[in-house]
Amino acid sequence: MSPDAAGSGAGPVDLAAALRTAATVLAAAGVPSPRADAELLAAHLLGVSRGRVRALAITGADAPAGLEDLVGERARRIPLQHLTGNASFRTVELAVGPGVFVPRPETESVVQVALDRLRAAGLSTPRVADLGTGSGAIAAAVAAEVPGAIVVAVERSELALAWAQRNLAGTGVELVAGDFRSALAGREGTFDVVITNPPYVPPDAVPVDPEVAEHDPPEALYGGERGGLEHPAAAAVAAAAALRPGGFLVMEHAEQQGPGVERILAQAGFTGIAGHPDLTGRRRATSGVLPGGRTPEATPTTSNGETRA
């Protein structure tokens, strides 16, 4: 930012000008949404909404102190959520920071697949497991949107557990520390739905975005051998053990991994396997049903098995 920008000690700076300068700096650094990030950083410092920041900029308000410093950090590709300390996910706000995977918009679509299934089943107290909860995003969203749900979240990373404990406090979600391969031992055949966003990035595929490659914990990213499908395969087996007959699994994965995830779900004993798109139309999730029990009416699908948007 310019020498007279907010945070330089040169006196008040017009908010509109500071936002323009910040957006230019962030764009030059390759930040994908420079103007939005500039406004969100200002909103964080002012303690107001992004819409309020826009209104203040129009009225000639001063930029908040410290904006230049935060913009500089963001230009270094520190994740926006690490700088503000929070991330929005569906209807919940989450505390996030170093040591935990920052929840992504595509995972919101995965949760929607599970919620649609729960509503079709019409259960008054559905039992839902979130395998590899990370920040607690999926579990918190289900608890908030499905009154009466009994939600269990599993996480093995000590750092992620600390964030999940903070985010799930007071939600009624049971947080279990441990590897999802074994953490639900003794509860076999008791869950109606399992949702999982396991690590699935192939070991030789380093993410392009510095925010992901340099700041998301590697254990939350890389899916191990078999082209990144080692951990998803383990999650499928764990889900098959946890679900009751007729229970439902939905798993997030990379766009190109759809056929591979179909195979591992079939190997784990699931039927009715279908793909599901995210909001951009890319196939980012696959679901399956454990045989037996009453099955709710299926979501309409296209001829290639993908759910219609």
Known active-site residue 210: no
SS3 state at 116? helix
Structure tokens given for 293? 């029990």
Structure tokens given for 289? 């049903």
Say which amino acid occupies 48: V
2 is in an annotated binding site: no
Contact 94, 167 (CB under 8 A): yes
Q: How many Å separate Cα 3 from the centre of its chain?
A: 38
180 is in an annotated binding site: yes
Distance between CA 222 and CA 31 in Å, rounded? 23
Backbone φ and ψ of 186, nearest 5°: 95, -10
106 is in an annotated binding site: no
Active-site residue (options: 34, 64, 89, 101):
101
Q: Please name which of 16, 194, 220, 207 lies closest in space to residue 118, comparing C-alpha atoms.
A: 194
Active-site residue (options: 103, 167, 197, 202):
197
260 is in an annotated binding site: no
109 is in an annotated binding site: no
Element housing 44 (H / E): helix 34-46
191 is in an annotated binding site: no
> Between the CA of residue 213 and those of 154, 201, 204, what are the distances in Å?
24, 11, 12
304 is in an annotated binding site: no
Give 185: exposed, middle or buried? Use CB within 10 Å, 0-12, 13-18, 19+. exposed
Known active-site residue 167: no
SS3 state at 301? strand
230 is in an annotated binding site: no
Contact 149, 126 (CB under 8 A): yes
Known active-site residue 101: yes
Say which amino acid occupies 130: D
Distance between CA 237 and CA 303 in Å, rounded? 27
135 is in an annotated binding site: yes
155 is in an annotated binding site: yes
Active-site residue (options: 34, 64, 103, 198):
198
SS3 state at 276? strand
Contact 299, 307 (CB under 8 A): yes
Q: Residues comprising the binding site for substrate?
A: 197-200
Q: Residues comprising the binding site?
A: 132-136, 155, 180, 197-200
Catalytic residues: 101, 197-198
Q: Residues comprising the binding site for S-adenosyl-L-methionine?
A: 132-136, 155, 180, 197
